[in-house]
Structure 1
Amino acid sequence: MLTLIAGVAAATAAAASVDTSPKPGGVYRLKPGIYVRKDVACKTAPNAAVRQYDGRGISSAHTRACRARILSRTGDRFEVSQSCIDAGAGPAPRFTERQTIRIADALTFTQTMRGKGSTYRYCPAYMLPAGLREAAR
């Protein structure tokens, strides 16, 4: 009986040590990392279905260095003005866009811009395509 309990404790400790990514936090209290649209598999996600949360804002494959400024908050709903550099890489101007972000939990959010919303869920690095794994770390 004691061996079984020790084995369970060791297995629990090992499982807890697998996820070394940052804990939820930042402007939205989401887990920093890669999010994929809910209707798309993590391992086959095209760029258009991917968002990255870094604690300061939510970027896409075509934006970077995004910074969200909260205009108002009602429960899990944030009205924000988000400023991003308008390119995935290289020089580009910064633009600002109004968005509504609804946080379901620390691993799921809905982003609405110009009346269109999509729900995204967190994808751990090991579930992502090889090209996105490094960005998730």
Structure 2
Amino acid sequence: MVPDLYDWSNPEQPPDMLTYVEETPGLTLTEYTSYAPQVFDGTLDGVHFYFRERFHEWQIELLAPGVDPAVADGEVIATGNAVHTFRFKDSPLSRLRFVVDSVREHVMRQSCSHDGAGRYCPMCGARMHHEAGEGGD
């Protein structure tokens, strides 16, 4: 599902973001704002996600279906500083791709059994925690 995502007040927004949303299986975007704050609110493979970035600080949350992120907090799966994470002139499309990849990676790692894991899981790539003296950092 693709709502009217094009932000007509922002001539920098690439129309191919709409194509990306339409062509990404399992992705529905229900809210998008491009500035002050930048927000992506939607579902991916049935998981409700909310990305918000303001004053260079961003976070991705997972919420229960139907929960309004303005009313309730979700599980924060990633946070960061946009200056360090994204290029200064990063496009909304590249940020949305980052959010989609982050949500899918988190869900995959949460459902992985980590069979055969040493320092890293061979199935999902998650880093395994080791006690001091067991070869960990």
Q: Same fold (TM over 0.5)?
A: no
TM-score range, shorter chain: 0.3 to 0.5
Return the TM-score normalized by structure 2: 0.33
Return the TM-score normalized by structure 1: 0.33
The structure with more strand, counted as a fraction of residues: 1
